[in-house]
Copies of this chain bind each other. A is one copy, B any other.
C-alpha cells in the first residue's frame, strides 16, 4: 500500500460535506444512482449491510412475539380518499398506477393502455391496508394482541434525493400492533424504541438520544411519537427510528373493534414503528472519514481482507495457500452470532488494491508477504486507525485475538461518536448566543445539539424553525425537571429540550 499524503476521498468532510458523502458511497461501491429518477441501485457491498441489519433486528422483533407478514404493493385510491377527507388542500407525492397494459403506439413506441377503473397507489406505507386487515381479524379480546411486521419497499415521490437518506423508493420495516388495553400498547411502544436503541447503539455504534416529539412534530394520528436521534459529524441530527403510540385513533379510523372480557365492544389500542435504509446513511455520516467508509464490525459485510504480497520470482502458490489457511482459521470463529467473514484479494493492481479496501471500510486489513510467512506473522491494519498505521503480529496471536480486535474497533467507533456528541452538545440559556451559534453554522460545522428551555408553545417552536431552520428534535426522556425560561419568549419552562438542525 503506497504512502499517500492526500486523502482517499476528495473533497474532504471539511471542504464539502454533502459531496464527500456521495463520494464515500461511490468509492465504497455500496450503491449508485439508477436510470430511474430518485431511485438507487443498492450494490452487493451496500445490500449486505442492509441484510445484516434486517437479520439482527428481525431476530430482536421475533423474540418479543412479533410475526412477519406481507401486504400488497398497491393501495386503492379510495383508501387514501378516506384519509384525505379531513385534510384541506390534500396533496400527496406518490406513484399512481393508472393503466394495466402497454401497447404499440403505431410509431415504433409503446403507450399505456387498459385504463383502470380505480387508480392504484404504490404504497407509501401499508398502514391503511394493514388497518383494514386487522379490523377483519379482530373480533374478541382473544384475537389480541396482534403483533405484525413487514419488511418491504415503499415509494414516496421525492424531488431532491440523496442516496440512502432520501430516495423515492426505499426499503424499510413497518411494525403495527393492536392491543386490548392502553397500558399494553404503551409498553409495546417503549419496547420497540428500546429495541431500536439497542440495535443502533450496539450494532451501528451510533449513540442516540431518546425522547418524545413535540405535538407539532408528531406522526399524524399519534398520541405520542417517541424517537431516537443521532448526531452526524456535521453536527446535524438524524432521526434513526420512531415508535408511535396511536391511542385508539387509528383503530377508530380503521374500525378495529373487539369484544372485551366483559362482553363490551370497544376499540383496540395500536402502535406503529419503523426504520429504513436511511439508517445506513446515518451510519455512513457518523463513522466515515476522509479515506472513505468506516464500518462497525458487527454489521460489516466482511470483517477481514487478506492482501497477499507477491514479490518477483517468489512462489505465488505458497503465499495463496498460506492466505487460504489464514482465512479458514478465522472463519471457524463466530463474532456476535455471525461467522467471521474473510475476503482474499489477489488482484495484481498495485497500491490501489489496499486503498480499495480502506474506502470500502472493512474493519481489518492483513498484508501477507513472503517474509510474514517466514516469520509466521501478519501485517495488520485497523480501519479505526490512520490508514498508514500498521503493526506486525504473530499469526496465531492474531487468530486468537480477532474477535477481541473486532470488538475493540466496534467500541472505539461508538466511543468516538459519544465523545464527538459530548463536545458538540451545549446548554444555552441566552437567546442571542443561541441564534448566533446557528446563524454562523454551515457545511461541516452545522451547529450543535443545544439543550435549551422551551415554554411548550408551538409559536416559539415555529419561530425558531423559521428563523434558523432549527427544530426541537425531541424532549429527551432523561432531561430533568428544572426551573428555566423559554429560549424564545422568556416565559417560564420546566424542562430543557433538544434543538438541532436535522436531516
- Chain A contact residues, CB within 8 Å of chain B: 34-36, 39-44, 47-48, 50-51, 67-77, 79-81, 84-85, 89-104, 108-110, 112-114, 119-122, 129, 132-133, 142, 148, 152-153, 155, 157, 169, 171, 347
Contact = CB atoms under 8 A, between A and B. Distances in A.
Nearest to A171: B70
A69 B43 contact: yes
A44 B130 CA distance: 13
Contact of A102 (B85, B94, B153): B94
Contacts of A100: 93-96, 157
User: In the complex this chain forms, how many copies of it are found?
Assistant: 2
A74 B90 contact: no
Nearest to A98: B98
B36 A75 contact: yes
Closest 4 CB pairs of A and B: A39-B72, A44-B67, A96-B99, A42-B70
B120 A102 contact: no
Given A36-B120, A47-B69, 16 more contacts: A36-B75, A39-B74, A41-B133, A47-B70, A73-B153, A74-B95, A84-B110, A85-B108, A90-B102, A91-B102, A92-B102, A95-B99, A97-B97, A98-B99, A101-B157, A114-B157
A474 to B, nearest CB: 31
A69 B42 contact: yes
A171 to B, nearest CB: 7
Contact of A81 (B75, B97, B110): B110
B36 A51 contact: no
A69 B44 contact: yes
Contacts of A112: 96, 98, 119
A339 B91 CA distance: 48
A257 B81 CA distance: 49
A369 to B, nearest CB: 22
